A and B are shown apart, each in its own frame.
Chain A
Amino acid sequence: MSEIISSVVAHYNYWIYIALMMIGLYAVIGKKNLIKKIIGVNIFQTAIILFYVSIGAKKGATIPIIHHGPGGGHHETTASVIEASQYMNPLPHVLMLTAIVVAVATLGVALALAIKVYNQYGTLEEDEILSRIRVR
């Protein structure tokens, strides 16, 4: 039992992202309001962004900016004395900049479409829209 708890605690970042993902998925599938669904999609995307950020992080590590060493030399000369484990992995974080941009763009498109839907049917509740389509 305690092993399970400790493994859960040790991987808490995964549990958080999975929980967020499930919340997002639930909103997309379970909610009838189109805006709530959009929020769900956004939560889903954010969960994955957090996942990426968390896999780049390390305990006790610092931001990956290399201070010039005492020799005041260039990157290459100091590289030998730099411990990689002292720094976070910057790549996942950089990737997530792109993913955030994608998420924002998706949000924009989705909201624009929602406006179009509202203008078309006069409501954002999915079941009402469907009943309107059926009547037509």
Chain B
Amino acid sequence: MISIKPLLAVLVSLLVVPILVSSRTPNVREAWTFAAASAKFLIVVSMVPAVLRGEQLVYTVAQVIPGAPIAFRVDPLGMLFALVASSLWIVTTAYSIGYMRGLGEHGQTRYFCFFAIALSSTIGVAFSANLLTLYLFYEILSLATYPLVTHHQDAEARVSGRKYLVYILGTSIGLVLPAMLICYHLSGTLAFSDQGFLAGTGPPQLMTILLFMFVFGFAKAAILPFHGWLPAAMVAPTPVSALLHAVAVVKVGVFSIVRVLTGVFGIELLSWLNLGTIVCVIASCTILIASLIALSQDNLKRLLAFSTIGQLSYIILGVGLLSPKGITGGVLHIAMHAFGKITLFFCAGAIFVATGKRNISEMVGIGRRMPVTMTAFFIGALSITGLPPAGGFLSKWYLGLGTLQADQITMLVVLLVSSLLNAAYFMPIVYRAFFCPAEMAMFENRVQEAPAFCVVPLVLTALISIILLFYPEPFFSLARLVAQGVTGG
């Protein structure tokens, strides 16, 4: 079905940029940001019923290269990702206002503009109909997030910004672009399809090389050893870390890999060449190593960064299992991790706004001062660890079922060990925040939360994290549709 809605969903935040630039007061500017975020969310939501009915909305913008136009296609996988990103943009906007004003940051107009551009490209990636369009928005996202990552414009931001670009642009130009061209050369098309388009076009060795080029090329997914940019990018203001490095940027990387695995290679080809196992091994190495590194971190945001690196590979692991349940779990984890991790980042930011503390060792007893924030933190940590009553339990459950379905017991062990590690790095923080002896507490026993603009969003995302376990719609249906589509079952 041809529909202009996907294009509108992408453009709405782009069109608001000139208005943001020319706004006279911060209030007007932020009102427009809210308007754009809501409009984007509504457009995305309005497409949900059609997608659940199994229809695909398509729209072609320009015929640039034969077989590879700039075109949009809304399918369950893209829909799920777009829903997550667009709903969290609204929350993050509210949080940004509280955070940026609370700290009196400079260059706020620039900040909101590039945020809007980044969201446009995220939705663009979600709705891409082919590899070329995906690459286009992937690159725009890399470039639009550079000013956000380096927002502080100091020496540290400069170094991190360089690292960010070297990793992200270096891999996308150096690996993805040639891989994409080889695909085009092999098959004459780049359009994603449920069965992939590479089957039977080239020798197995070439397929393996292409797989590596794609998996490592989308460095936004932070698969080891291309993860170095993510901890470095934590110099960004916390809302940026929250939305971009828990939701938009990293998820775009993971989404791209999932898209390429399912839409370019196709499950059949992957299992025929046994490439799924390779993907699983790469992912599980990343999961374990990142969790171990996270254990030794003192800076809260860096800990969250390494935790993110590990969690992202869950998603890739799930798809690499090539079993319907594994894919369901992996895709569902895009949503569950997003809500859980953004809560944690919001909490880290709220603590920084309220107390100026960045390190875990300085947060002993903070639960007494900021009970709401730390409770939300606890819920987020539960979700990431994969324990009920938070939504993360559901996706991890399906991932576990997926390993059994695929007869990959090793991977089940990896999942369990990793969950233990997650608990090991999160729970001490929570424990010491609430249950430390009174004489060790570093804060007065007086409730003093961050501004409401900061607290309300994190409560909201924490609540959603819980609700998602009991009512995981429409994400669950979408994830099931994805699994059905790509495995043909």
- Are chains A and B touching directly in their complex (CB below 8 angstroms)? no
